[in-house]
Structure 1
Amino acid sequence: MSLQATLGMTVLEATPSLTRVEMTVTDAGLNMHGTAHGGVIFSLADEAFAVISNLEAQAVAVDTHLSFFRAARAGDRLVAVATPERVGRTLATYRVEVQRLGAETEKVALFTGTVSRRDRPAGTSPRP
């Protein structure tokens, strides 16, 4: 079973200019303080980053960074919204905002990541 399936992530949209991945925080994803574990939030952002960066090329991460702004709790619906900052021939950098959905959308975290990219081998396709 993939991490995406284990954490209950769903790809809502996957285009080279915008990718959105959603999940709901469960009790299994909480830390000792009763809030979403940083690794769960990172995994959601990283999944959106992986999907968007592999749509047009074969890509592997070379650098990532995540800043936390707000806590998320069990039952919170989170969405990671990935957009390109700069896409070059061999390197690409993406921005991923992790947002809590509800009456008001709140930014929970900001992820940035850079990938090394190359042409996809013939006969292969990305997995959204």
Structure 2
Amino acid sequence: MSYTEALGMTVLEASPERTRVALTVTAAGLNMHGTAHGGLVFSLADEAFAVISNLDVQAVAAETHLSFFRAAREGERLVAVATPERVARTLATYRVEVRRGEEGEVLALFLGTVSRRDRQGEERTS
């Protein structure tokens, strides 16, 4: 079982323009205050970031940042929505909003930059 499977993550949509990944907060994902652990929220945002940034090329994270705005509780469904901020030949930056539900309030904002390169044996056409 992969890490994302163990956390119960599901990719809802994956395109270079928008990627969505969801999970439901369980008791195993709570912190000492009874709210979603920051690591769980980060992992959800990071998965959306990883999926969107690796769709067309091989990418590895160079820098990430996460700001927390609101807490999530057990049973709530969280959706991470990743969109590109700037995509260039060797670097790309993505914005990921972690929301309460599909259209709910933004609980956290993740920004991440990746180093990009062609997958081995492939030539970039764009």
**Does TM-score exceed 0.5, indicating one fold?**
yes
What is the CA-CA distance between 1:122 and the residue it aligns to?
2.8
Question: Could you tell me which residue of structure 2 aligns to residue 84 of structure 1?
Answer: 84
SS at match of 2:35: coil
Question: Could you tell me which residue of structure 2 aligns to residue 126 of structure 1?
Answer: none
1:110 is matched by which residue type in structure 2? Answer: L
Q: TM-score, normalised by structure 2?
A: 0.94
Distance 2:86 2:56 in 1: 14
1:117 is matched by which residue type in structure 2? Answer: R
Distance 2:73 2:108 in 1: 14
Task: Quote the sequence identity (%).
Answer: 76
Q: TM-score, normalised by structure 1?
A: 0.93
Q: Deviations over 1:10-47 (max 9, x none)?
A: 00000000000000000000000000000000000000
SS at match of 1:13: strand
* Structure 1 consecutive aligned stretches of length 4 or more whose deviation exceeds 6 Å: none
User: Tell me, which stretches of 5 or more residues in structure 2 are unaligned?
Assistant: none
Please report the RMSD computed on the Cα atoms of aligned residues, expressed in angstroms: 1.2
Q: How does 1:1-128 map to 2 (within 5 A)?
A: 1-101=1-101, 105-122=104-121
SS at match of 2:72: coil
Distance 2:48 2:116 in 1: 16
Distance 1:122 1:23 in 2: 34
How many residue pairs align between the two structures?
Answer: 122
User: Tell me, which stretches of 5 or more residues in structure 1 are unaligned?
Assistant: 124-128
